[in-house]
Structure 1
Amino acid sequence: MAQSMNTYPCTAVIVFWLTSAAAAHAASKVDVTVTGRLTPDACLVTLSDEGVIDHGKILSHTLSDDVVTELPSRVLQLHVQCGRPMLFALVGLDNRAQSSLDPDVLYGLGRNIHAPAERLGSVALSYRNPVGDAQALQVLASDDSGETWRPASEAWPKTYIGFAPVGDRQPDFIGQLSAQLQIDTSINATQYLTLDQAVPLDGSVVLDLRYL
């Protein structure tokens, strides 16, 4: 998993025209261009274990033939640190969306490198126990890019995830956030997989921080 920040830069350009004139000479001019970039205070997003979940060796005979097999949940520690309290949301972007068993709510786990038509499974993300600026928070989700919010801990692909004091229905300004990111991995039913040789799992999700 990787981290990302959108700063929505604003560029200001000011042009000064300097003119002069003298008897018996044509007027001349020179352009002076002043540029700059205005950006919000940056927030830094970090994950424990460099954002890597390694399920190790999974023996094929331990997998279900006709239903998905759920692997043990894993947890990463998420931290967001901003230069000052900021209003932001986290958005999960799936780099393996075409391999997801349910792309609206689950992230893909990649395809079988030996049989590319086979989808290996899915990954579910959720946020637990968020704390912002030493205050317990609740998790909010938005399916319309931050227009409306609902309480929910599940982080579906492309869904905005915000954080607010318990009972509030709008994300709050936060300077420092910590939370547990729970990762639940499911392997597709083996009747749909060719497992006569080793197959690597290949899930990849970007957590994108977006300013609201």
Structure 2
Amino acid sequence: MRNSLTLLSTALLLNLFSTAYAASAIDLSVKGLITPSACSPILSGGGVIDHGKLSAGDLNQGNPTYLPKHTVQMNVSCEAQTLFGLKAIDNRTASGSSSSFGLGFVNGDKKLGWFYLYFNNPVMDGATARSIVSYDNGNTWRPEDMFEPGPLFAISTPADTSLPIAGRELAVELEIATGIYDAAGMDLSQEVPLDGSATIEVKYL
């Protein structure tokens, strides 16, 4: 078996060398686009959601505990009409999931909880709009209210959700839904912080 692997490796190596000699040059292209306008996102309340102190005795054993929902106002202001999108990054990704943001850990490696983000009542330049998402970097779009970490989100008209629209002023209510996993097995003998953190980036399309 070892001889066979050695021969195979040698054959592959020879093939790589022959391919390298066959192409003596290759091109590298560096592309991009500098936009003349910039957009700035702002969150009301400094973007801080504070649930205060929670009693360990009030947490459910065997079932999740859902905390009161909060809403912050998010505004994106651009210097001129600009085609832009938004991307959310989970800064606690190890304790999150593909669709939710993490709240850190308890007991060292047990996930403490999660929070979801939702777009509500988006308004672009004074007109009712719709939030849309792209999972293929802007090639295709579909309606979506849940602001997941990772995908690219943008704003469209309610009538045509297949393409994003340019705008100068976006106002949207950002709803935060937070939960704690079932407390069974959690060591809550000391204070445990809810340690959620997300970054919202403006992406120029």
TM range (shorter): 0.7 to 0.9
Specify which structure has the higher proportion of helix. Answer: 2
Question: Could you tell me which residue of structure 1 aligns to residue 74 of structure 2?
Answer: 78
Percent pairwise identity: 36
* 1:1-212 pair list within 5 angstroms: 38-100=34-96, 103-112=97-106, 115-168=107-160, 169-212=162-205
Count of residue pairs brought into register by the alignment: 174
The AA in structure 2 aligned to 1:74 is H
- The CA deviation at 1:44 is 0.8
User: TM-score w.r.t. structure 1 length?
Assistant: 0.79
For structure 2, the residue ranges without an aligned partner over 5 or more in a row are 1-30
1:64–1:189: 8 Å Cα contact kept in structure 2? yes
RMSD over equivalenced CA pairs, Å? 1.4
The AA in structure 2 aligned to 1:50 is G
Q: After TM superposition, where is structure 1 displaced by more than 2 Å over at least 4 residues in a row? A: none
1:63–1:190: 8 Å Cα contact kept in structure 2? yes
For structure 1, the residue ranges without an aligned partner over 5 or more in a row are 1-7, 11-37
| SS of residue in 2 equivalent to 1:50 | helix
Q: Deviations over 1:69-114 (max 9, x none)?
A: 11110001000000111111111100101112xx1110101112xx
Question: Could you tell me which residue of structure 1 aligns to residue 24 of structure 2?
Answer: none
1:118–1:192: 8 Å Cα contact kept in structure 2? no
Q: Deviations over 1:117-174 (max 9, x none)?
A: 1211011001000001010001101111211111110011101111111121211001
| SS of residue in 2 equivalent to 1:190 | coil
In the alignment, the residues of structure 2 paired with residue 208 and residue 192 of structure 1 have an alpha-carbon distance, to the nearest angstrom, of 36
Specify which structure has the higher proportion of strand. Answer: 1
1:49–1:76: 8 Å Cα contact kept in structure 2? yes
Question: Could you tell me which residue of structure 2 aligns to residue 3 of structure 1?
Answer: none
1:63–1:69: 8 Å Cα contact kept in structure 2? yes
